Copies of this chain bind each other. A is one copy, B any other.
Amino acid sequence: MKDVAVAAGVAQSTVSRALNGVPVTEATRRRVRTIAEELGYQPHPGARALRGAPTMLLGAVVRDIADPFFAGALRALSIEANKRGYSVVLGHARAARDEAVSLTAALKARHCDAMVLLGDLGVDPRLLDELRKVHVRVVALWHGGTPQAAGFPSVGVDNRVGVRAAVAHLAALGHRRIAFVGPGAHGDIRERQAAYENYLSGVGIATPAGYVCHVANSIAGAKQAFAALRALGEPPSAIVAATDLLALGLIHAANEGSVAVPSELSIVGFDDIPLAAAAMPGLTTVRMPVQKIVAAGVALAIGDRAQSNDGPLLDPPHLIFKPRLIVRGSTSRCLDSI
């Protein structure tokens, strides 16, 4: 910038003004702009940050980027952030439980204007504590109302409504032996499981031992679950999977085991990832309003700082969006009930 000033024969401050839209003579502005262009001048973000300017960096912490659902969420996040001129910095909670986590988080926190937590990271409270101390806005997405996240604003989905729609759909098709498969550990999933149990007991349908199956959120996990459920004395005629990844794995496992979907076994997923529509048969699932949730999260994280004169908000907002059941081919009338 000094070089530009010299080349243009003006003071540095004038260059700064010309480049930042502060009133300057039109001639000066043009000259400065031209010269800056020629010299390939690039403002130094560090120097700006030093002056208190935002870094325009948004931290995103996600357990596993390769999970199709979170990959989609991350894409939405990136797009939404870019709209507002922000870039996304990736954080891994993968190696969690190590001190590496807090280190990573702290490191990023310094760079970032705000942070978005995607999914229940199953993270130890220390990380949250550190995050609270650092003076950046933290928003939790899909945290499933775990008490850990209580201090942060959050945006999520109405798991209860989603699961009720799924189970009610199965019940309406005549199913009475309905199992649940999900990764056991995370907040959102626990909500889904609770909703499943709550609804069934509400309408007087039993859930025998073994009908709730906790496995890893992966194809392999789904195969385990399938095997376990088929080994039961009275195998289910329908399964509610807590995620589409599990649902797709269950369909595969069923194909492998020569169990016809949906005629012998109905399967409902949750998320509506792109692959869900392409499965054979198409997966009946609960569509997550990813776009809306992410947009709301970003708005909370970096939107109108005007209304929030910083400091931790005493009553952080908790937004809940409603999902919608998408009926495809993986569910059909229960044979027993004909």
> Would A65 and B74 count as touching, CB distance under 8 A?
yes
What residues on B are CB-neighbors of A163 within 8 Å? none
The distance from the CB of A269 to the nearest CB of chain B, in whole angstroms, is 15
Task: Tell me whether A90 and B111 are in contact in the complex, defined as CB-CB below 8 angstroms, given that A42-B134, A72-B66 are known contacts.
Answer: no
A280 to B223, CA, bound (A): 13
B89:A88 contact, CB within 8 angstroms: yes
Number of copies of this chain in the oligomer? 2
Instruction: Give min CB distance, A129 to chain B, whole Å.
Output: 11
Q: Give CA–CA (A43, B107) in the complex, Å.
A: 10
Kindly provide the distance from the CB of A224 to the nearest chain B CB, expressed in whole angstroms. 13
Known: A45-B110, A71-B66. A40 touches B87 (CB 8 A): no
CB-CB < 8 A to A256: which residues of B?
280
A133 to B55, CA, bound (A): 22
CB distance from A128 to the nearest CB of B (A): 15
Partner-contacting stretch, out of A10-18, A21-29, A75-83, A141-149: A75-83
- Give the chain B neighbours of A107 by CB distance below 8 A: 56, 87
Q: How far is the CB of A165 from chain B (nearest CB, A)?
A: 25
Q: Which chain B residues lie closer than 8 Å to A318 at the CB level? A: none
* A155: min CB distance to chain B, Å: 20
Interface residues contributed by chain A, number (CB under 8 Å): 56
Cβ-defined contact, B90 with A78, below 8 A: yes
Candidates B40, B92, B220; contact of A82 at CB < 8 Å: B92
Asked if A278 is at the interface of the complex by the 8 Å CB criterion, the answer is: yes
Which of chain B's residues have a CB closer than 8 A to the CB of A56?
107
Contact (Cβ within 8 A) A45 B46: yes
Q: Is the Cβ of B64 less than 8 Å from the Cβ of A75?
A: yes
Per-residue contact bits, chain A 262-277, to B (CB 8 Å; 1 contact, 0 not): 0000000000001101
Q: Is A50 an interface residue (CB 8 A)?
A: yes
| Residues of chain B within 8 A of A279, CB atoms compared | 252
A111–B277 Cα distance when bound, in Å, is 39
Q: Which residues of B contact A91 (CB under 8 A)?
A: 87
With A106-B42, A108-B87 known as contacts, the answer to whether A65 contacts B57 (CB < 8 A) is no
Kindly name the residue among A56, A87, A89, A100 whose own CB sees the greatest number of chain B CB atoms within 10 A: A87
| Chain B residue nearest to A103 in the complex (CB) | B85
Q: Does A219 contact B (CB under 8 A)?
A: yes
A278 and B219 contact, Cβ closer than 8 Å, known pairs A42-B134, A46-B50, A50-B44 = yes
Q: Mark A94-126, 1 if CB is under 8 A from B, else 0.
A: 110000100010111111000000000000000
**CB closest residue in chain B, given A108:** B87
Q: How far is the CA of A42 from the CA of B130 in the complex (A)?
A: 12
Is A249 at the interface (CB under 8 A from chain B)? yes
Additional 7 contacts, C-beta under 8 A, given A45-B111, A218-B274: A44-B110, A47-B49, A68-B68, A87-B90, A88-B89, A89-B90, A255-B280
Provide 9 A-B residue pairs closer than 8 Å at the C-beta atoms, listed in order of the A residue. A44-B50, A44-B110, A45-B49, A46-B49, A46-B50, A47-B50, A66-B72, A71-B71, A79-B92
A residues neighboring B (CB under 8 Å): 40, 42-50, 55-57, 60, 64-66, 68, 71-72, 74-75, 78-79, 82, 87-92, 94-95, 100, 104, 106-111, 133-134, 218-220, 249, 252, 255-256, 274-275, 277-280
